[in-house]
């Protein structure tokens, strides 16, 4: 990573309309690049989001239209693109919820399949991500970027492991529900940044994806001290912030909590 890197988080409202989702993503990624962003993060399931049937119908392989566009855009715009996540069609009855990090040359750097599936009841709505998706099992750090997706945010041990493997930037593409965005989102994001002395780029969905299914927005970029560098308004759009890795090194040197960890005792 350079000493200073401009990063962006994309906030959008994905639905079952894949063509519209792709057009919105293209417009906003181009806007981020025009603002000088060299690292851009899309939200979770930006290519299709809605009912279980919408996700089954809209699932694609990694060489499908969504990621083919993402690779072409990254190369054209000369950006690192963390392509949020897509509903990846894989062998078997269920999909994977898959995040792909694409380099500025348009070539995949790494892919991560969401480990923690969202099987919960929130605000009277039951979510059963395991009905459509199967969980991944591997942690992924790609060029100092720790990859995660949405519900992963509630599991601090995942991020500790990413930091231990060299992550200085933690990406959180999400479709955090409206209720949990209101009460938990910022607290969890800032905690992950402070605990791991890393930048956090959190790109959330906003608005209604299907009847009764809403995300809360408030996409954020946070520094290793837990300071919110940028926060999105309650609409589709782009936020940008400069990541200062000299400051990150100073924080880790002066408050060496990562070096003081005693993982051998945490059992």
Secondary structure string (H, E, C) spanning 40-108: EECCCCCCCCCCHHHHHHHCECCCCHHHHHHHHHHHHHCCEEECCCEEECCCCCCEEEEEEEECCCCCE
For 135, what's the count of Cα atoms within 13 Å in the CB-facing half-sphere?
A: 13
Phi, psi of 83 (to 5 degrees): -80, 55
Q: Where are the domains of the chain?
A: 4-254
The rounded distance, in Å, linking the Cα atoms of 104 and 166 is: 21
| Residue 195 scores a pLDDT above 80 | yes
How does the average pLDDT of the chain come out, rounded? Answer: 96
Mean pLDDT in residue range 123-139: 92
Confidence (pLDDT) at 231: 98
Mean pLDDT in residue range 177-199: 97
| Residue 135 scores a pLDDT above 90 | yes
Confidence (pLDDT) at 29: 98
Tokens 């069609």, residue? 89
Confidence (pLDDT) at 2: 81
User: How would residue 1 be classed by pLDDT, with cut points 50, 70 and 90?
Assistant: confident
Selection from 82, 79, 83 nearest residue 105 by Cα: 79
pLDDT digits (tens, 9 = 90+) for 3-51: 999 999 999 999 999 999 999 999 999 999 999 999 999 999 999 999 9
Catalytic residue among 35, 44, 88, 236: 44
* Catalytic residue list contains 114: yes
- Report which DSSP code applies to 236: S
* Catalytic residue list contains 45: no
Confidence (pLDDT) at 160: 97
| Residue 91 scores a pLDDT above 90 | no
| Residue 115 scores a pLDDT above 80 | yes
Burial of 254 (0-12, 13-18, 19+ CB in 10 A): exposed
Mean pLDDT in residue range 121-135: 91
Pick one of 3.10.290.10, 3.20.20.70, 3.60.110.10, 3.40.50.300 as the CATH number of 4-254: 3.60.110.10
pLDDT digits (tens, 9 = 90+) for 43-89: 999 999 999 999 999 999 999 999 999 999 999 999 999 999 999 99
Phi, psi of 63 (to 5 degrees): -100, 20
User: How would residue 125 be classed by pLDDT, with cut points 50, 70 and 90?
Assistant: confident
Selection from 214, 205, 209 nearest residue 172 by Cα: 205
Catalytic residue among 91, 150, 186, 195: 150
* Catalytic residue list contains 121: no
Burial of 69 (0-12, 13-18, 19+ CB in 10 A): middle
DSSP characters over 157-180? HHHHHHHHTT-SEEEEEE--BHHH
Confidence (pLDDT) at 256: 95
Catalytic residue among 88, 99, 114, 129: 114
> In this structure, what token pair is assigned to residue 127?
């979510």
pLDDT digits (tens, 9 = 90+) for 213-242: 999 999 999 999 999 999 999 999 999 999
Task: Determine the Cα angle at 16 with ends 14 and 22, to 5°.
Answer: 55
| Residue 150 scores a pLDDT above 80 | yes
Contact 159, 134 (CB under 8 A): no
| Residue 121 scores a pLDDT above 80 | yes
């Amino acid at each position: 990573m350079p000493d200073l890197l401009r990063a962006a988080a994309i906030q959008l409202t994905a639905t079952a309309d894949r063509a519209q989702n792709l057009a919105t993503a293209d417009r906003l990624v181009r806007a981020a690049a025009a603002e000088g962003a060299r690292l851009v993060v899309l939200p979770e399931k930006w290519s299709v989001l809605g009912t279980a049937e919408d996700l089954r119908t809209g699932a694609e392989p990694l060489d499908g239209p969504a990621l083919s566009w993402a690779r072409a855009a990254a190369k054209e715009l000369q950006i690192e693109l963390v392509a949020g996540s897509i509903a990846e069609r894989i062998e078997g009855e269920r999909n994977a919820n898959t995040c792909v990090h694409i380099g500025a040359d348009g070539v995949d750097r790494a892919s991560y399949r969401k480990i923690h599936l969202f099987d919960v009841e929130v605000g009277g709505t039951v979510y059963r991500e395991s009905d459509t998706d199967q969980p991944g099992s591997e942690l992924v750090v790609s060029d100092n970027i720790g990859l995660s997706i949405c519900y992963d945010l509630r599991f601090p041990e995942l991020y500790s492991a990413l930091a231990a493997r060299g992550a200085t930037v933690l990406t959180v593409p999400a479709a955090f529900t409206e209720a949990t965005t209101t009460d938990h989102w910022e607290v969890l994001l800032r905690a992950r940044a402070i605990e791991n002395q890393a930048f956090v780029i959190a790109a959330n969905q906003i608005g209604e994806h299907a009847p009764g299914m809403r995300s809360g927005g408030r996409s954020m970029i946070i520094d290793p001290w837990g300071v919110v560098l940028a926060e999105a308004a309650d609409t589709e759009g782009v936020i940008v912030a400069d990541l200062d890795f000299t400051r990150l090194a100073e924080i880790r040197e002066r408050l060496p909590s990562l070096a003081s960890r005693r993982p051998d005792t945490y059992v």
